[in-house]
Structure 1
Amino acid sequence: MSNTKRPFINLEQAQRIIADVPTPFHIYDEKGIRENARLVNKAFAWNPGFKEYFAVKATPNPYLLKILQEEGCGVDCSSYTELLLSEACGFTGSDIMFSSNETPAEDMKKAYDLQANINLDDLTHVDFLNRVAGIPPVICCRYNPGGVFDLGNGIMDNPGDSKYGMTEDQMAEAYTRLMQLGAKEFGIHAFLASNTVTDDYYPELAGILFRLAVRLKERTGAKIKFINLSGGVGIAYKPGQRQNDIMAIGEGVRRQYEAILTPACMGDVAIYTEMGRFMLGPYGGLVTTAIHQKHIYKEYIGVDACAANLMRPAMYGAYHHITVLGKEEAPADHVYDVVGGLCENNDKFAIDRELPEINTGDVLFIHDTGAHGFSMGYNYNGKLRSAEVLLCEDGTHQLIRRAETPADYFATLDFSPFYKKMGF
Structure 2
Amino acid sequence: MKKTFVTKEQLQQIVEQYPTPFHLYDEKGIRTCARNLQKAFSWNPGFKEYFAVKATPNPFILNILKEEGCGVDCSSLTELMMAKACGFAGDDIMFSSNVTPAEDFQYASELQAIINLDDFTHIDFLNNLVGIPETISCRYNPGGEFAISNTIMDNPGEAKYGLTKQQMMEGFQKLKELGAKHFGIHAFLASNTTTNEYYPTLARILFETAVELKEKTGVHIAFINLSGGVGIPYRPDEEPVDILAVGEGVRKAFEEVLVPAGMGDVAIYTELGRYMLAPNGCLVATAIHEKHIYKEYIGLDACAANLMRPAMYGSYHHITVAGKEDQPCDHKYDVTGGLCENNDKFAIDRMLPKIDKGDLIVIHDTGAHGFSMGYNYNGKLRSAELLLKEDGSAELIRRAETPEDYFATFDFTGLFKDL
- Residue number in structure 1 paired with 2:356: 359
* Pairing 1:105–2:134 present: no
* Pairing 1:295–2:292 present: yes
Give unmatched runs, 5+ long, in structure 2: none
Output the CA distance in 2 between the equivalents of 1:417 and 1:134.
Answer: 44
After the TM superposition, which residues 235-384 of structure 1 pair with which residues of structure 2 at under 5 Å, given as runs?
Answer: 235-384=232-381
What is the Cα deviation at residue 133 of structure 1?
1.2
Query: 1:208-242 CA deviation, whole Å, 9 max, x = no partner?
Result: 00000000000000000000000000000000101
Q: Is the 8 A contact 1:112 1:134 kept in 2?
A: no
Give, as a single letter, the amino acid of the residue that structure 2 aligns with 1:125: H
* Pairing 1:114–2:111 present: yes
Give, as a single letter, the amino acid of the residue that structure 2 aligns with 1:47: N
Q: Which moved more, 1:145-154 or 1:26-35?
A: 145-154
- Residue number in structure 2 paired with 1:395: 392
* Pairing 1:24–2:35 present: no
- Residue number in structure 1 paired with 2:382: 385
- Residue number in structure 2 paired with 1:203: 200
* Pairing 1:224–2:218 present: no
Query: 1:56-107 CA deviation, whole Å, 9 max, x = no partner?
Result: 0000000000000000000000000000000000000000000000100000
Give, as a single letter, the amino acid of the residue that structure 1 aligns with 2:88: F
What is the Cα deviation at residue 172 of structure 1?
1.0
Output the CA distance in 2 between the equivalents of 1:415 and 1:142.
Answer: 42
Give, as a single letter, the amino acid of the residue that structure 1 aligns with 2:10: Q
Give unmatched runs, 5+ long, in structure 1: none
- Residue number in structure 2 paired with 1:184: 181
Of 61, 64, 70, 2:58 maps to: 61
Output the CA distance in 1 between the equivalents of 2:218 and 2:187.
Answer: 21
Give, as a single letter, the amino acid of the residue that structure 1 aligns with 2:311: A
**TM superposition score normalised by structure 2:** 0.99
Q: For the aligned residues, what is the CA RMSD?
A: 0.7
Output the CA distance in 2 between the equivalents of 1:96 and 1:420.
Answer: 40
Give, as a single letter, the amino acid of the residue that structure 1 aligns with 2:248: E
What is the Cα deviation at residue 47 of structure 1?
0.1
What is the Cα deviation at residue 420 of structure 1?
1.3
Give, as a single letter, the amino acid of the residue that structure 2 aligns with 1:112: S
Output the CA distance in 2 between the equivalents of 1:114 and 1:415.
Answer: 33
Query: 1:20-58 CA deviation, whole Å, 9 max, x = no partner?
Result: 110000000000000110000000000000000000000
Query: 1:274-312 CA deviation, whole Å, 9 max, x = no partner?
Result: 111001000000000000000001000000000000000
What is the Cα deviation at residue 418 of structure 1?
2.9
What is the Cα deviation at residue 363 of structure 1?
0.2
- Residue number in structure 2 paired with 1:15: 12
Give, as a single letter, the amino acid of the residue that structure 2 aligns with 1:142: R
Output the CA distance in 1 between the equivalents of 2:274 and 2:313.
Answer: 16
* Pairing 1:91–2:91 present: no
Aligned length: 419
**TM superposition score normalised by structure 1:** 0.98
What is the Cα deviation at residue 417 of structure 1?
3.9
Of 145, 165, 170, 1:168 maps to: 165
